[in-house]
Structure 1
């Protein structure tokens, strides 16, 4: 039986992935009493925030993400300084596509509009600058200088340490069993019952499981994604001087393919497909479906064709979960019936870099502060 914890928190945050950690960090930073709950023991690899690397970039076709990224870079630098941990490596970021591709044009237009430093590279310049790529003559590039790699697992650890240092409380290995709306909101886990003025749900692929008893289901799709690592034929050829990249290769695949230079596994580049297959998050490690084999075959063809300096079969394959919204934009909003329950969800495989501002916005919604950003694009009512 769960024991009742007498303290009234300003907020309880459910889910200690990167979004939940940044939300709790903003609460603690603003001297509010916060409890961060995590169903698994930390660190773990069951959600969407594990692993060693993520891409950071300003290159987006949407204005609202480019605006947010300005502050994200500042907060990432602030957390680096406060924690004394290096969390970002600038490698540059390369967007690849055909010059008539609508999304490619939209990215270029948005970067120009917001005065983000970038360089347009025609196919000849691409070949000169990035000789490791073997690209067809109609491929062009956008080279964004400030892009690079975030050290994901180090970021989670740094934030969790800072939350505790700032007076926040983290309880891991406590799965939420019941949420009772009201003021205060009551949360019962497998071991204890807690109360808070507000609740923030950042539970990734488990979001709808928590929302079902609260009378709402979001149009979220949980996907299991294969993250593949490919061995260099010549050691060091995809290391220090190779960029992160992201591109549309419609001749090979309907979804984007992205890559990061060799890092977590020496001599291996991370190249993955920005898509996955429907899966229950509690069954993430069950045997693969045949459609997952297709995803890996697409990547094998891509590597063989476009990155001939890598072995064409993955050396290591890991699993990750995406929680996608229909438009692949985030959900950052209040519960329609319970204003003190805040939801952050649908990060659609691109939320890690934006988590400093997502956490800030969820904190603002929770404390009814003036919002720093227009959240129209992130409201539940758009569905």
Structure 2
């Protein structure tokens, strides 16, 4: 136990020094400006990284044995590595977070799947899902959530860490963000093929499933609010800048959905028509997002030719523009109305690593967004591999930061 504490204290000391750097405050100002549609310059972020390939020389190897200390050690090591090697506009919160522990029943149904992996150390694997919702009577198996806040366990974890490192780095209990990805869930319950075929051949069945899953998630986040499980001010909202002056909760007050981001998407709809996309997702998200203060829509699905239907979501503020979208078309359609969350192609830092291609892609994003007077951010995410070469990320970061500062 003593060796665990010594290890954690050394990391906490380094982290506290980095978190006190003025760059964090400047980056927070950039986040707020972008999300407030008053961009100072584009924010650049890197997330969803292949940590196993970044572990050169065992720099990320965990040494703590206690599970609470071990989780904190992983958090500190990963953030310090990124801060020191490819930070972009990363913010290090000036505290060690302890997420509120949620108990009870999350809802839904257990996933039945087969998995294939080519790299045992990589979290990115292939999935083949069993169709558990083939018949209408199966839909009732999707359970509604019954959540609890495990307050005692959460406070125990916070106190344990505070005793170990609290004099070096504050330890703070934090909440959770919203995440409405109904069609991602449905894909895990059914598989992609059945899901897409039923949109065309059995639309009533598809609607019935979507309605049930939507009610399940809506109830989940209603309970999050009721149990005070929400985070009032996350630094990130699904890998993108989260800070926003328009979303505020007074210290000590319960966190309400009306004061936080709503997050929704329909990734599997990449090849679905605008009309079908609106019918089977946007119409539902209009209802699910009603309680939230601002909304971020989209993930990996191309939305460049669907902006007009996405606009119908109440209090929409941010739209994802994926590598498979035409950034010029999207930027022109979005203009200054919403934040463009531009997602460059992560393949450019993998086996297809090419600094010239990286520069050309980033220049295209910046030129398109500036020409359309967009407030925008550039978020490199979904990074499955860097071909075990951390220099790929460092090079991408250097190119991106040079371009947005020019």
Check whether TM > 0.5: no
Q: TM-score, normalised by structure 1?
A: 0.29
Greater fraction helix:
2
- Where relative contact order (Cα < 8 A, 6+ residues apart) is larger, the structure is 1
Q: TM-score, normalised by structure 2?
A: 0.27
Greater fraction strand:
1
